[in-house]
Amino acid sequence: MKNLQLVLYFAYFIGVLAVNAFENLSKRNTTAISLSSTYSNSLATFANDGDTITNDHRVCSHTEINKDKAWLQLDFGKPYSINTIRIHYRNEDIWKPYRFREFYIDMSDIPATQSNTSERTRCYTDNTTYPDVPPFLMEVPCKLTARYLIVETTYDAPEDDNITGAVLEICEIEVFGCEVGEYGADCKSCIGCQVCDITSGKCRTYAELCMLSTSKYYILIY
């Protein structure tokens, strides 16, 4: 058992190093973050301030209650090639990630205020059903190229006795990737083409990069 734990820890450590070799695009000065609505003083900017604490709602972004839809959007200012998304969701002793069930992640060249899901490319869909809850910390491979990243939900958690509608409580979101035309650790320039696969460096068209995706996620344990 100890050997297995060491192997899992080593695999996780290597994975973190690999992800961190890419730039955290959410921290760029040109990246703008916004919410569909804001509950109290729980601003959108709490989700990209570098604070990954998840057991204190006062340092997490939070959308308004009693809304049919809730979303958090990152606008990178121009298209970027994405490799991985890491989400730190609210997870307190008395309040688990109930509201995080059935959320989804879309990539788009049109902002959330002007688009619907049919106009975006789906990166990930959570299929957690009651009474289970999603992991509060997850890493989602999302090899797509777009300007906007949208985390959205229409889920109404049954644990909300006197509240209806969808709510998002994201404490931090990290998006690792490169400029279009770059790939791999340290974001090297594509060789022999203007755009390439962000992992392999294989030359592709921009349209192909906008359609590539995967729906598998990894649970992170610190």
> pLDDT per position in the chain (222 positions), as tens?
445 444 434 444 444 444 558 999 999 999 999 999 999 999 999 999 999 999 999 999 999 999 999 999 999 999 999 999 999 999 999 999 999 999 999 999 999 999 999 999 999 999 999 999 999 999 999 999 999 999 999 999 999 988 999 999 999 999 999 999 999 989 999 999 999 999 999 999 988 888 776 556 666 554
CA-closest candidate to residue 151, choices 164, 169, 165, 136: 169
Answer for the pair 164, 84: CB distance below 8 angstroms, yes or no: no
Answer for the pair 58, 119: CB distance below 8 angstroms, yes or no: no
Q: Which domain holds residue 76?
A: 2-181+214-219
For residue 121, is it within any domain? yes
Beta-carbon count within 10 A of 79 CB: 19
For residue 134, is it within any domain? yes
Phi, psi of 18, rounded to the nearest 5 degrees: -65, -45
Phi, psi of 147, rounded to the nearest 5 degrees: -90, -40
For residue 196, is it within any domain? no
List the CATH number of the domain containing 20. Answer: 2.60.120.260
DSSP state of 92: B
For residue 209, is it within any domain? no
Instruction: Give the HSE-up count for residue 25: Cα atoms under 13 Å, Cβ half-sphere.
Output: 27
CA-closest candidate to residue 134, choices 105, 163, 164, 177: 105
For residue 158, is it within any domain? yes
Cα separations in angstroms, 16 against 52, 55, 88, 136, 216: 15, 22, 15, 17, 16
For residue 194, is it within any domain? no
